[in-house]
Amino acid sequence: MLVLAPNWAAPSERWLTYILAAIGRNLVAVAANDAPQGGSWGPGATALRVADGPSPAWRRVGRRLGLPVDPVAHTAEDVVLAAARRPDVDVICVHYIEYALRFERVWQRVDKPLFVHSHGYDTQWDLRTIERPDEPYFPHDYVPCVRKLAERAIFIANPECARRLRAIGVDGARIVARPYGVPVPLRPPPRPMRSRGLEVLYVGRLAECKGPDLVIRAFERACDRGLDARLTLAGGGELWLTCELLRRRSRHADRIRVLGAVDSARVDALWATADLFTLHHCVSPVTRQVDACPVVTIEAQAAALPVISARCGGVTDLVVDGATGVLVEPGDVESHADALLALARDPAKRLEMGRAGWHRARTYYDIKDYGAVLRAVLGLDPAAEHAPHGSTSAAERPAVEAQACAG
């Protein structure tokens, strides 16, 4: 199998490592813009860098200066076409619709099953950017091109993206709706029964649709009303400066940490010491983006942490309000503060919600089950996964349902 993705190792795309592990020894090559040339992913999978070579003009300049110049100018299309034509590649899976459309001419020349994994922004049809909020991000023919791509490819999508694809007329028979899987421990991690000195955690991009600024405001109000806790925000993104300014200007600045982007080991350490997990999902007022499937909320539940967020986008598929967490109305900072206070003051409720979240993650979102479904959809060896640390075998778990989430 050949897998294509724009980024190889972005901290915000930890889910990709889960997916590659689920594919396991079926994987023969990974192509990405930032893949280490000549490297590999796991046992036996070649890493291919997808990048255009120097233009003919630059090549002429290089030769005049006596610089080493590759005699053949490989384009990104050349790299992908050569990889797709490899005899050991039977199936192709591309992550992000926009990225798949970049290589549309390749798919016309290769007669192999093509799957396109949608993730979120690529189905935000009215998306804008921070830099140009008044201009559409996608070209005017993007939606028709997506419909046309559906004639050639099968879409794999989380439930929210599947709804968006159906809304533009993509046949449901061309869509496999499935949320992500994550490693889930055999037992819920222990959590302290404390009501003071709590650790409140935010992990994720500091993006408008995740509401880190609203989280800080809610935390401040809760602290004004007696919350004894520290807030840690781990993640990079366009709102980093906004969050850092809010922290520095806060009357509770000594209780707020803005760490920036962190690696997986640091995230795991943060999970281990947290008492509550929080985001504040909303429609981005500038980019119009809505978080389609916040994988981090699944990870939080797998870590037996209650989740506090707002009722917007894909989080409503993942978190059960009142059972595995609390969902408030988007923008309702007061209710968010209420939820922080209520769970901080009730350790037993936190423990109950955390264990319910862990059970939900174990039942519906374990990477083992996700991998089995993914390999079945792709027509791959059903027993070929390389399970990430922390996942469990089928014999160690109760039976699971085929559908991973409602809605």
pTM of the predicted structure, to 2 decimals: 0.85
Instruction: Report d(CA 180, CA 211) in Å as an integer.
Output: 22
At residue 165, φ and ψ (nearest 5 deg) are -65, -45
Q: Is CATH 3.30.70.100 the right assignment for the domain spanning 2-177?
A: no
Q: Is the pLDDT of residue 46 over 90?
A: no
- Mean pLDDT across the chain: 88
The pLDDT, as a whole number, for residue 390 is 40
Q: Residue 389's pLDDT is what?
A: 41
Element (H, E) at 175: strand 175-177
**Residue 209 to residue 286: CA distance in whole angstroms:** 9
pLDDT of residue 179: 86
Alpha-carbon gap, residue 217 to 220, rounded angstroms: 5
Q: Could you tell me which residue, 277 or 74, shows the higher pLDDT?
A: 277
Question: In which band, very low, low, confident or very high, does the pLDDT at 72 lie, cut at 50, 70 and 90?
Answer: very low
pLDDT, tens digit (0-9, with 9 covering 90-100), for 339-375:
999 999 999 999 999 999 999 999 999 988 888 888 8
Band the pLDDT of 65: cuts 50, 70, 90.
Answer: low
Q: Specify which of 47-51, 68-72, 73-77, 392-396 reaches the highest per-range mean pLDDT.
A: 47-51
Task: Check pLDDT > 80 for residue 54.
Answer: no
Per the CB < 8 A criterion, the answer to whether 18 and 107 are in contact is no
E-only strand ranges, 251-402 = 256-260, 276-278, 307-310, 325-328
Q: What is the mean pLDDT of residues 4-33?
A: 81
For the segment 187-213, what is each residue's pLDDT rounded down to a tens digit?
999 999 999 999 999 999 999 999 999
Average pLDDT over residues 57-86: 70
Token pair, residue 294, equals: 């916040």
- The confidence score (pLDDT) of residue 381 equals 72
pLDDT value of residue 64: 61
Name the CATH superfamily, with its identifier, for domain 198-360.
Answer: Glycogen Phosphorylase B; (3.40.50.2000)
- Comparing 102 with 16, the larger pLDDT belongs to 102
pLDDT at 130 over 70: yes
Residues of the chain with CATH 3.40.50.2000: 2-177, 198-360
Instruction: Report residue 251's pLDDT band, with 50, 70 and 90 as the boundaries.
Output: very high
Per-residue pLDDT, 138: 96
Categorize the per-residue pLDDT at 66 as very low, low, confident or very high, splitting at 50, 70 and 90. Answer: low
Burial 345-360 (b: 16+ CB within 10 A, else e): eebeebbebbbbbbbb
- Name the residue among 333, 336, 289 with its Cα closest to residue 312: 289
pLDDT: is 82 or 12 the higher one?
82
Distance from the first to the final alpha carbon of the chain? 31
Q: What is the mean pLDDT of residues 136-152?
A: 97
Q: Identify the weakest region by mean pLDDT among 28-42, 54-68, 177-191, 380-394.
A: 380-394
Look at residues 204, 203, 200 and name the one whose alpha carbon lies nearest to residue 218: 200
Alpha helices in 192-346 (DSSP H): 212-224, 240-249, 264-273, 295-302, 315-318, 333-344
Sequence-distant (6+) residues with CB within 8 A of 121 are 96, 127, 289, 292
Q: State how far Cα 190 lies from the chain centre.
A: 26
Closest to 361 measured CA to CA, from 396, 320, 321:
320
Residues above pLDDT 90, as percent of the chain: 71
Res 25 pLDDT > 90: no
Going by C-beta distance under 8 Å and a sequence separation of 6 or more, which residues neighbour residue 280? 210, 211, 212, 214, 215, 218, 309, 310, 328, 330, 333, 336
